[in-house]
A and B are shown apart, each in its own frame.
Chain A
Amino acid sequence: MENIFEKSLERYFTHEQLVKIRSVKVGIAGAGGLGSNCAMNLVRSGFRNFVICDFDVVEGSNLNRQFYFTDQIGEFKVEALKQNLLRINPSLNLEIHRKKLEAGDSTKLFADCDAVVEAFDKAECKQMIAEEFFDSGKFFVAASGLAGWGNSDRITIRRVHAAFHMAGDFTSEVGAGVPPCSPRVNIAAAKEADLILNWVLSR
C-alpha cells in the first residue's frame, strides 16, 4: 500500500512523471554535505531507489551543513542517512555501503544505477570518479567550488556534455578562512538533485 508521503506526491506530479521518477536508481558517492543533502532532495522529489556509499562516521563538525542530527554523532553516515531518508519515505529501496571507494570500485558498485552523483570532499576523489563516469553512458553529476559564503548566484551549472553536468562556482575551495557552510553546500547539492530530476522528467 502506498504510504502517505508517496500518496501526497500525486498532488505535484502526474502518474506518468511518478512512474519515471520511481523507475530510476541513483548512485551517490559520498554521504557528507553534498551526498546527504542531495539524497534528501531526491527522496523528497519521489526517487525510491538508491545505492549510497561512504566510509565515515557522523561528527559534531558535520552538523553545520550535513543532513544529520546531534543524536547520530558516532554512527556511520550511511546508516544514519538511511534512517533519516526513511523518515521521509518509509518505502525506499536503499542499498548502503560502508566503504571508502578506491579507483575502479564505483563502476562496479553503481553498475545498475541510471544516474550517479559525485558527492566527495577531496578534489582528487572527485577527479577519480569523474574519469570513471565521464563516458559511462550514465547520467553523471558532480560539484566543484562551494566553500564560504556570499555570491551564491555564482554557483551555476556547467554542461560538460549531455550526460555530464557540474554544479558549483568552480573556484571556491575549502581551506583556511573558507569553510564549508550550509547555504552554499546545500545550493550545490540541491542543484545536483535538480539536474537528475530534470533529466528524468525530460526523458
Chain B
Amino acid sequence: MLESLAVLLLCQLLGELIVIATDWPIPGPVLGMAVLFAGLMIKGDIPQPLVQTANGLLAHLSLLFVPAGVGVMTHLTLLGNQWLPLTASLLVSTLLTIAVTGWVMQRLSGSGTDEGDVR
C-alpha cells in the first residue's frame, strides 16, 4: 500500500520535473500517468498492491473534483456573460463527437452488428 503510493507520487514528481525541465505544456500528472503506463508495459503485469491503491484512489475520484469545482463561484460573472457560447458549444460538440467517433469506428471495424447485446 505504502510502496505503491510511493510509486504513484514518484511518477507524478518525475512527470512534474520533466515538464519543468522541458517547458512542455502538458500537465505533470498526465506525464506521470504516461511514465507509469510505460513502466507497466515494460514489467508486463500490475503488482497486486498497486491495483489496490489505484482502485482505492479511483473509487472516489469524483470527490477529488469538488474543491476545484467550487472555484466556479469566482467566475460567476464570466458564466453570466458567456453562458450562450458555452451551452451551444457543449451541445453541438458533444453530439457531433459521439456521431463522428461512432461512425468512423463502425466503418473501419466492419459492420459487426451482431456483437454483444444492444439496448
Do A and B interact with each other, yes or no? Answer: no
Which residues of B does A touch, CB under 8 Å?
none
